[in-house]
Amino acid sequence: MSTAVHAEGVATTTPDWAAIRAQFPLLQRRVHDKPLIYLDSANTSQKPATVIEAVDDFYRQHNANVSRAVHALGSEATAAYEGARRRLAAFLKVQPDELVLCSGTTFAINLVAYSYALPRLKPGDAILLTRMEHHANIVPWQLVAERTGAVIKVAELDANGDLDVEAMLAKMTPEVRIVSLAHVSNVLGTVNPVREICRQARKRGITSVVDGSQAAPHLGLDIPSLDCDFYAITGHKMCGPTGTGVLWARREHLQAMPPFLGGGEMIREVRFEGTVFNDPPYRFEAGTPNIAGFVGLAAAVDFLDGIGMEAIAAREHELGHYLRSALEREPGVRIFGNPRQRTAVVSFLVEGAHAHDLATLLDLQGVAVRSGHHCAHPLMQHFGVPATCRASLAFYNTHAEIDAFITALQKVRGLLA
């Protein structure tokens, strides 16, 4: 860290980004004999050594199942797992017993759909989604809509990829029971005004669900301030291990919800005549959880907090601006959307080239971008394309990498001309 003194005389520290980047072993790799330029963090982030070591240490020193064994290792594993729950709660500014630890956003939204919505929805009820949702926030709702006779309504976007909030509020009619939306779009980086939308939903008695997959890694979260009912995050996009995630829910919802999956850990007593279920959040955590994964995720939030989410957001904002401006200067490049508030994600195409060809040729130069529909078919339909390329940044990327990406893109354009 270096220290700067502002005009008011307040000293602030600027993180040493090069030293932070050096803590990510994988970023030192070469692919196709070129230095790796990883621009696919919206897909999954890379992991710092502290996360890798925390997982390694768990398996080397503490591995046992949770809540089952009274022996020393069993107690250590349980303490580590519950410690991770408390650590995540502190990161999200909520209470530990309001957090269901699960495999990720996909599981979390399915849990809300099946356990909260399915018993409540009736024919004619509506679920309001937005055009920019990831399939994980569309398909579970379609499945419960099919079973209950509810219908899906869609809030549309403008040409910039911003939600038309007025039109969305107008769609919050009395038959709407649930509104579910992304905090941040995985394709455009749009940051949605979720606080305003959830507040308006609450006023109308509509339950709100927020998919925070792309927000948690980039924005400092204060879930209670959002006024939502449910908030889902996935650990692997925020420097944590794959197969980890969290559903935050208001305590009264968790208490009223029946179990989603049955098995060990989620019960108090089982008889063939019937089962008494455990209290939330354990009622929703059937079976052996990803204990090592959550130990790693706790290390990941320690790492992120060690840098500071404000510093991360500022760094990514600056890098995102640099990336977008550089792409805008390139002839023949079409950029999708121009949201007012956004994270460091840019979707683009090059005139005359298919997204997969572009990504393949970039990969040969060491540049990893994602190509495809990004699990957002309805958004692709909005833009009238089957696929885009997406460059997505994290705080560990550098300006030099963005320059190298642009040089690689120019070379690809030459090859495709």
Q: How far is the CB of 69 from ligand PLP (least distance, A)?
A: 30
Catalytic residue among 102, 198, 239, 375, which?
375
Instruction: Report the run of H or E that residue 373 belongs to, with start and end.
Output: none
Q: Of 113 and 409, which has the nearer Cβ to ligand PLP? A: 113
Task: Pull the structure tokens for residue 145.
Answer: 């809509």
- Establish if 110 lies at the interface with ligand PLP (CB under 6 A): no
Q: Which residue has the tokens 């990883």?
A: 38
Q: Nearest CA to 85 among 327, 274, 283, 247? A: 247
User: Whole-angstrom Cα distance, residue 384 to residue 381?
Assistant: 5
Task: Pull the structure tokens for residue 72.
Answer: 């020393």
User: Whole-angstrom Cα distance, residue 336 to residue 208?
Assistant: 28
Q: How far is the CB of 161 from ligand PLP (least distance, A)?
A: 14
Residue 248 pairs in a beta bridge with 99, 231
- Establish if 136 lies at the interface with ligand PLP (CB under 6 A): yes
Task: Pull the structure tokens for residue 213.
Answer: 């997959």
Q: How far is the CB of 374 from ligand PLP (least distance, A)?
A: 8
Out of 27, 37, 182, 304, the only residue in the binding site for ligand PLP (CB under 6 A) is 182
Q: How far is the CB of 268 from ligand PLP (least distance, A)?
A: 29
Q: Of 22 and 261, which has the nearer Cβ to ligand PLP? A: 261
Active site annotation includes 198 = no
Q: How far is the CB of 103 from ligand PLP (least distance, A)?
A: 7
Strand boundaries in 72-229, DSSP class E: 99-102, 126-130, 151-155, 176-182, 207-211
Tell me the pairing of strands 176-182 and 126-130.
Answer: parallel
Task: Determine the distance from the C-alpha atom of residue 115 to the mean position of all C-alpha atoms in its chain, rounded to a whole number.
Answer: 21
Query: Is the peptide bond prior to 281 cis by the omega test (within 30 degrees of 0)?
Result: yes
Q: Of 336 and 350, which has the nearer Cβ to ligand PLP? A: 336
Task: Pull the structure tokens for residue 307.
Answer: 């840098």
Q: Of 214 and 278, which has the nearer Cβ to ligand PLP? A: 214
Q: CB under 6 A: which stretch of 101-109, 122-130, 142-150, 165-173 binds ligand PLP?
A: 101-109
- Among residue numbers 233 through 252, which ones bind ligand PLP (CB under 6 A)? 234, 236
- Among residue numbers 344 through 383, which ones bind ligand PLP (CB under 6 A)? 375
Q: Of 236 and 324, which has the nearer Cβ to ligand PLP? A: 236
- DSSP-based three-state secondary structure for 230: strand
Q: Of 105 and 278, which has the nearer Cβ to ligand PLP? A: 105
User: Whole-angstrom Cα distance, residue 29 to residue 106?
Assistant: 30
Contact in structure between 334 and 349 (CB atoms under 8 Å):
yes
- Establish if 47 lies at the interface with ligand PLP (CB under 6 A): no
Task: Pull the structure tokens for residue 259.
Answer: 């179990």
- Establish if 130 lies at the interface with ligand PLP (CB under 6 A): no
Out of 110, 186, 208, 278, the only residue in the binding site for ligand PLP (CB under 6 A) is 186
- Among residue numbers 201 through 230, which ones bind ligand PLP (CB under 6 A)? 211, 213-214
- Among residue numbers 151 through 180, which ones bind ligand PLP (CB under 6 A)? none
The letter for the amino acid at 133 is E
- Establish if 339 lies at the interface with ligand PLP (CB under 6 A): no
Q: Give catalytic residue positions.
A: 375
Binding site for ligand PLP (CB under 6 A): 104-106, 134, 136-137, 182, 186, 211, 213-214, 234, 236, 375
